[in-house]
Amino acid sequence: MRITSTIFGLTLALASPVLATPALADPCGDLIDRVGAATEATVVRRTADFAEFTTRDGIGLTLACGDLSAAGAQFKGQTLPNAYFTLFGKAGHAVNGLPAEAIAEAGRTARASAETKRHSQVDLGKALVTCSMSSMGGVPVTTCAAIDKDDRT
């Protein structure tokens, strides 16, 4: 009995530093999880500071992590899926906390302007929403991003 309690005591003494050590922080991993949960998108590629997602609608989502993070949405095709701006808003909200509908509406505004200018942006205070229109092999490509700004006060 005494040997058993000694072994148990030694086990606790050796394990306690491990048990008391906080989990290593993975801020990008946390953002990836939040974007995935908010959009129901699937991670298809990940690095230490970047993730690429795909959705059921064929919309690509991207996440750049760092001091200033950005969520992006990309689609190649003539007609944007109905869910494009909703997913973009949800991804942006998961990253910067701004209301998803505000991000989605800023995306709609920026994209409408980009149809004639190729690129446009809307300032949302702590984030900049930017959209561009391009062509790949004659097919339109829409790319929008909600980018954190560094002048937060």
Under the banding of pLDDT at 50, 70 and 90, the label for residue 24 is low
Q: Chain-wide mean pLDDT for the chain?
A: 86
Give tens-digit pLDDT for 60-102: 999 999 889 999 999 999 999 999 999 999 999 999 999 999 9
Which pLDDT score, from 0 to 100, does residue 131 have? 98
Name the residue among 45, 78, 86 with its Cα closest to residue 62: 45
Which pLDDT score, from 0 to 100, does residue 150 have? 78
Name the residue among 90, 38, 25 with its Cα closest to residue 107: 90
Residue 131: φ, ψ to 5°? -135, 145
3-state SS of 97-131 is: CCCHHHHHHHHHHHHHHHHHHCEEEEECCCEEEEE
Give tens-digit pLDDT for 137-151: 999 999 999 999 976
pLDDT at 41 over 90: yes
- Give me the residue label for tokens 């001091």: 67
Q: Say if residues 87 and 41 touch (Cβ distance below 8 Å).
A: yes
The reported pTM is 0.81
Q: Say if residues 144 and 129 touch (Cβ distance below 8 Å).
A: yes
